[in-house]
Chains A and B, each alone.
Chain A
């Protein structure tokens, strides 16, 4: 089931190879259908999911390469939520590209579908080898998406994106190899690795290798410099998935791998990591203030928001941990929505320069309404989803450290300022360019893209228990492994094909 969720898009991509490029309508429809199917599979899994069980469910395992390298996927609560996020945003990204991408459409949708497979695989993988395969395989479609359909500085942005990510992940590969070679049963199954006792010196090296890979992906200051370029130059769908899903992989990697695998090293580096998260919050916000390009502004806001997420996860109080995970989902939705809206604006005005925009609420009332809701969600207005996650992070942070909590709160205040300011400059005031008065209104497709996101904003804001209940047990379990409350006994990974 989970395998189908992962590989359906890739199968569709391979099928698309044999469709002639001229049949653009078919290609679009086909991609939309096959990128949405995983969402239905995911919802079905959600119905069958047992929230009281902390370990992965729906496990699928098969003999693969031998010597402990299995094909092994499954989902615990955290993974399931992130899988759903991926499956939810991907079809929206496909649908948002129908008008935006006019050239080389077939290749474009092939790359989007492959990317979806890679992203889902990262969250579903249950052993390090498989995790790394999806983690790396995902880079290639993203490389093409930014490099072919990106903006003016696309070549620079895409090479920078790939190289930055590779620096981290290749050192992580050495770490993975080390774990594989030194673990007693040559198993890379996550829950077996948690039970390893790795000597402190080794832990430090391994933690640095893993943490670098994830810190680049999150991104934490000072490893964030690829992000504004990649986000700004990527086509809308690319930015949506980058911000919505790819950045979550960094956070997911920390909480699933770097922290529980190397708890000693994590404790050792905790102060530095917290400082980096706080610097990311402030720095991202400060940079967002001075951007003229709306997309770049949102990119820097991501740095700031992810700082809050990471702060919550690092501090390891249950509230902040839950808040951090919840905030990952929120950020995926709200920043994804921001990029979608900016993409829609750009399709109409062909500029993202906020100095040239202004007063667009008049010609585009629906878009303005959506943008306002999204901005409110992003800055954490009570009643919307962002509030719940951020509030939990503050609560948890204050319990651990008043300073950290204060800085996290400062980040939210700042984000309110620059996002509202962006809204004002784009939507309010006099219409700067008379030509903008005749801009086409939002069409039905665009409204249908935005509507489900807005519904989720409210749902996640008003009744968060529905979502939190699903991953509460898993989150507590992961957190306690990290805190070494108890050592889990090695769960032997069996080789039986299923």
Chain B
């Protein structure tokens, strides 16, 4: 039962590959859409059959099901965004959709297991598909992105494998459980350090963030949106499952330092960016920093982490739906006067950036408010003050994009057609919904994730 969503997703992806070969791209697209949609439905059905599957290799618990559903919804939105984009950029549609579906399958595996080997398999499925996705545009930037992502990604993978080896030696099996985390031996400590570092790489936390700006800049825009959201969810959920390690005193300061440096470094470097995708890359690093605060709270921070991931996903994908519509004209200069050229597009991007900056009444504000108050409630007041000041810095660069779009005179240029107005509307709806009426979701998360 627990395997059904994954089976649907992979099955339809395989069908998509076959139909793509023989009958054309349109079929690949259809099957990928269908696969993700049906898998989302299956994930909802799995809710009433929560539990362990495949001799405990697969775990469909509330955290897993919620994050899997999030991942599938976000992938669906990336599909919608990619819909108009691929025609313009000359990307082979079939590959884009199939790779996205496969990568999503990897992410699903990562979030619905507590066995390290299975998690590693999921991570590799996700990563290999991602390396290919990054290179889809086939220009030099895109190739560089792909190679850089792959080379550095392999490092992270090898960290993870070595960590698994240590873990096995220390604990005797590969199930994530608190006994190994409490084990004071250097072996267990080394295992934790390696595993957490590998996942911090995927989550693009300082000091493992170096790939992020280049990969984000070079990849096709919808794919960048996908990286910034889905990969991050998978990595953070796995980090949450490893939270017994994370909150060990030896790691606590490491993660806290990483969070602080992610926030400060990324927000300050973002100030100077003139390429919107690089800017969004640094924004994504800084948001990883905010989310790392929730990890410091251990399992108790799960609900706020998942809430923030949901909020972040909607606002970031909304922003990337607009960025994708610009057909890889990513310099800030290209956004000059956009509000005259294409008012809805500019208004959408402004709205999502305002949410990312954390202004009420958007969900970005509520997410930050809850995140910071949970961290504060656990006694991390110094971190909260740093986070708040980092937010202040971020306001400047988010609003700078708004300033270019609304307050500077535009140059000559064409009218861009929004690739996916639907994706933008979905994001808009949820960013407002979660910002103004979050009660249901919060109550759900608090009851089931706690």
Q: Which residues of A contact B (CB under 8 A)?
A: 63-66, 107, 129, 132-134, 136-137, 139-140, 143-144, 147-148, 154-155, 158-159, 162-163, 166-167, 170-171, 173-174, 177-178, 180-181
Contacts A159-B399, A170-B392 given; 7 further ones with Cβ under 8 A? Answer: A147-B406, A147-B407, A163-B392, A163-B396, A170-B391, A171-B388, A181-B373
Supply 18 A–B pairs (Cβ within 8 Å), ascending by A.
A65-B366, A65-B442, A66-B439, A66-B443, A133-B360, A133-B365, A134-B360, A136-B365, A137-B360, A140-B354, A155-B408, A158-B403, A162-B395, A163-B392, A170-B389, A170-B391, A177-B376, A178-B381
Closest to A63 in B: B439
In the bound complex, CA of A162 to CA of B393 (Å): 11
B108 within 8 A of A: no
In the bound complex, CA of A440 to CA of B442 (Å): 60
B359 within 8 A of A: yes
Flag if B396 contacts A65 (CB, 8 Å).
no
In the bound complex, CA of A167 to CA of B384 (Å): 14
**Interface residues as binary, B233-270 with A (CB distance below 8 Å gives 1, 0 otherwise):** 00000000000000000000000000000000000000
Q: With A66-B443, A133-B360 in contact, do A177 and B407 touch (Cβ < 8 Å)?
A: no
Flag if B359 contacts A155 (CB, 8 Å).
no
Flag if B369 contacts A174 (CB, 8 Å).
no
**Interface residues as binary, B344-379 with A (CB distance below 8 Å gives 1, 0 otherwise):** 000000000010000111000110010011001100
Q: Which 10 A-B pairs rank lowest in CB-CB distance, beginning with the nearest?
A: A133-B360, A147-B407, A181-B377, A177-B373, A170-B388, A137-B360, A177-B376, A136-B360, A170-B392, A166-B392
Tell which of A129, A144, A167, A170 has the most Cβ of chain B within 10 Å.
A170
**Interface residues as binary, B257-289 with A (CB distance below 8 Å gives 1, 0 otherwise):** 000000000000000000000000000000000
A31 to chain B, nearest CB (A): 18
Flag if A65 contacts B439 (CB, 8 Å).
yes
Closest to B407 in A: A147
B152 within 8 A of A: no
B318 to chain A, nearest CB (A): 17
Q: Which of B377, B388, B407, B443 contacts A173 (CB 8 A)?
A: B388
Q: Which residues of A contact B388 (CB under 8 A)?
A: 170-171, 173-174
B30 within 8 A of A: no
Flag if B392 contacts A167 (CB, 8 Å).
yes
Q: How many A-B residue pairs have CB under 8 A?
A: 77
In the bound complex, CA of A163 to CA of B402 (Å): 14
Q: Which residues of A contact B377 (CB under 8 A)?
A: 181
- Contact size class for B? 20 to 34
Flag if A159 contacts B396 (CB, 8 Å).
yes
Flag if B406 contacts A133 (CB, 8 Å).
no
Could you tell me which residues of chain B, from 406 to 428, have a CB within 8 Å of some CB in chain A? 406-408
Q: Which of A63, A132, A134, A144 contacts B406 (CB 8 A)?
A: A144
Q: Which residues of B contact A180 (CB under 8 A)?
A: 373
Q: Is the interface of A mostly helix, strand, loop or mixed?
A: helix
Closest to A182 in B: B377
B350 to chain A, nearest CB (A): 9
B385 within 8 A of A: yes
In the bound complex, CA of A107 to CA of B354 (Å): 17
Closest to B390 in A: A170
Q: Which residues of B contact A63 (CB under 8 A)?
A: 439
Q: With A159-B396, A174-B385, A178-B376 in contact, do A137 and B407 touch (Cβ < 8 Å)?
A: no
B190 within 8 A of A: no
B11 within 8 A of A: no
Q: Which residues of B contact A174 (CB under 8 A)?
A: 372, 376, 381, 384-385, 388
Q: Which residues of B contact A170 (CB under 8 A)?
A: 388-389, 391-392
Tell which of A107, A136, A181 has the most Cβ of chain B within 10 Å.
A181
In the bound complex, CA of A170 to CA of B368 (Å): 11
Closest to B362 in A: A137
In the bound complex, CA of A63 to CA of B443 (Å): 12
Q: Which of B385, B389, B396, B403 contacts A147 (CB 8 A)?
A: B403
Q: With A65-B439, A167-B392 in contact, do A177 and B384 touch (Cβ < 8 Å)?
A: yes
Q: Which residues of B contact A173 (CB under 8 A)?
A: 369, 372, 388
Q: Which residues of B contact A64 (CB under 8 A)?
A: 439
Closest to A173 in B: B388
B438 within 8 A of A: yes
Closest to A137 in B: B360
Q: Which of A136, A140, A158, A163 contacts B407 (CB 8 A)?
A: A158
Q: Which residues of A contact B365 (CB under 8 A)?
A: 133, 136
Q: With A133-B360, A174-B376 in contact, do A143 and B442 touch (Cβ < 8 Å)?
A: no
Q: Which residues of B contact A178 (CB under 8 A)?
A: 376, 381
In the bound complex, CA of A163 to CA of B384 (Å): 19
A255 to chain B, nearest CB (A): 23
Q: Which residues of A contact B443 (CB under 8 A)?
A: 66
A371 to chain B, nearest CB (A): 32
Q: Which residues of B contact A181 (CB under 8 A)?
A: 373, 376-377
B445 to chain A, nearest CB (A): 11
In the bound complex, CA of A65 to CA of B367 (Å): 12
In the bound complex, CA of A133 to CA of B363 (Å): 12
Flag if B442 contacts A66 (CB, 8 Å).
yes
Q: Which residues of B contact A148 (CB under 8 A)?
A: 406-407
Q: Which residues of A contact B403 (CB under 8 A)?
A: 147, 155, 158-159
Flag if B395 contacts A166 (CB, 8 Å).
yes
Q: Which residues of A contact B391 (CB under 8 A)?
A: 170
A311 to chain B, nearest CB (A): 30
B32 to chain A, nearest CB (A): 34
Could you tell me which residues of chain B, from 109 to 158, have a CB within 8 Å of some CB in chain A? none
Flag if B396 contacts A137 (CB, 8 Å).
no
A438 to chain B, nearest CB (A): 32
Flag if A140 contacts B359 (CB, 8 Å).
yes
Q: Which residues of B contact A177 (CB under 8 A)?
A: 369, 372-373, 376, 384
Closest to A134 in B: B360
B178 to chain A, nearest CB (A): 27
Q: Which residues of B contact A147 (CB under 8 A)?
A: 403, 406-407
Q: Which of B359, B384, B406 contacts A137 (CB 8 A)?
A: B359
**Interface residues as binary, B300-337 with A (CB distance below 8 Å gives 1, 0 otherwise):** 00000000000000000000000000000000000000
Q: Which residues of B contact A136 (CB under 8 A)?
A: 359-360, 365
In the bound complex, CA of A162 to CA of B442 (Å): 31
In the bound complex, CA of A163 to CA of B392 (Å): 7
Closest to B377 in A: A181
Flag if A155 contacts B373 (CB, 8 Å).
no
In the bound complex, CA of A232 to CA of B81 (Å): 43
B307 to chain A, nearest CB (A): 11
Q: Which residues of A contact B339 (CB under 8 A)?
A: 107
In the bound complex, CA of A107 to CA of B361 (Å): 19
Flag if A143 contacts B392 (CB, 8 Å).
no
In the bound complex, CA of A154 to CA of B377 (Å): 40
Tell which of A65, A155, A167, A171 has the most Cβ of chain B within 10 Å.
A65
In the bound complex, CA of A177 to CA of B372 (Å): 8
In the bound complex, CA of A490 to CA of B406 (Å): 48
In the bound complex, CA of A162 to CA of B408 (Å): 17
B249 to chain A, nearest CB (A): 23
In the bound complex, CA of A181 to CA of B354 (Å): 26
Q: Which residues of A contact B402 (CB under 8 A)?
A: 143
Q: Which residues of A contact B369 (CB under 8 A)?
A: 129, 173, 177
Flag if A163 contacts B373 (CB, 8 Å).
no
Flag if B395 contacts A163 (CB, 8 Å).
yes
Tell which of B388, B396, B402 has the most Cβ of chain A within 10 Å.
B388
